[in-house]
Amino acid sequence: MKGARRILDELRRARVLLIHPRDEEGELLAAHLKRLGCAVSHAWPPPATLPEGVDTVLVSVDDAAVGDMVQLLGAHDVAVIAIVTYESPTTLVSIYDLNAHGVMSKPLRPLGILTQFTLARYRHRTEGRLNGKIRKLEETLKGRRMVDRAIRLLMDEQGMNEDAAYRLLRDQATAERIPLSSIAEEIVTAYETMARMGLNRARVPAPKE
């Protein structure tokens, strides 16, 4: 019951833009989404910009210029549902280009709209979580590489061994309450700046263990 309640609550929070000719099927789809509890705006011809707050877009790929739709949707974090009439290679390319999270086929019928709509929004959220994890991993790897560079510089330029260089970075990061990678980046940037200026770097004795 909790899952069903959550789905109904999400439907009531959904803000939908329907990009579809104002024909019988377009009106049917808009009316059904409203009955499900969604806030629906209907646009035709396709708008130049997305209305504020829209989180789900349904677009008729047979009627809209897909290139324009890709440009319109590309900068927005929205769930996309493609509405198609034919299963042709051209249609499939359009679905791929739109990175659609769901597909509805014409002739549209009320049965199935809720399922496709809910699944598309679920896939969009899942995709967002996975992309977030990937970005976090990339940032972690980037930070790790920066720390390794800083350690290598301290070893080469200051005569430290690896453990001492790492401890210096760690202790300074702790003292300043900033990430280890930030201290490492400061060191790497400082050395790179000095190198560009042609300054000689005097090697200092390694700290005692």
Segment 33-44 shows an average pLDDT of: 92
Segment 81-110 shows an average pLDDT of: 91
Please report which residue ranges of the chain form alpha helices under DSSP H: 2-13, 24-36, 66-74, 89-98, 113-158, 162-176, 180-196
CA 164 to chain centre: 39
pLDDT band at 200 (very low <50, low <70, confident <90, very high): low
pLDDT at 122: 92
Does 199 score more than 90 pLDDT? Answer: no
Find out whether 110 and 64 touch, Cβ atoms under 8 Å.
Answer: no
pLDDT at 1: 53
Average pLDDT in the chain: 89
Does 207 score more than 50 pLDDT? Answer: no
pLDDT digits (tens, 9 = 90+) for 162-187: 999 999 999 999 999 999 999 999 99
Does 205 score more than 90 pLDDT? Answer: no
For residue 43, count other CB atoms closer than 10 A to its CB. 16
pLDDT band at 64 (very low <50, low <70, confident <90, very high): confident
Segment 25-43 shows an average pLDDT of: 92
pLDDT at 204: 47
Segment 176-199 shows an average pLDDT of: 89
Does 209 score more than 60 pLDDT? Answer: no
pLDDT digits (tens, 9 = 90+) for 122-148: 999 999 999 999 999 999 999 999 999
pLDDT at 93: 93
CA distances to 136, 139, 157, 179, 190 from 174, rounded to whole Å, are 21, 20, 23, 8, 20
Identify the structural domains of the chain with CATH numbers, from first to last.
Answer: 1-110 (3.40.50.2300)
Does 206 score more than 60 pLDDT? Answer: no
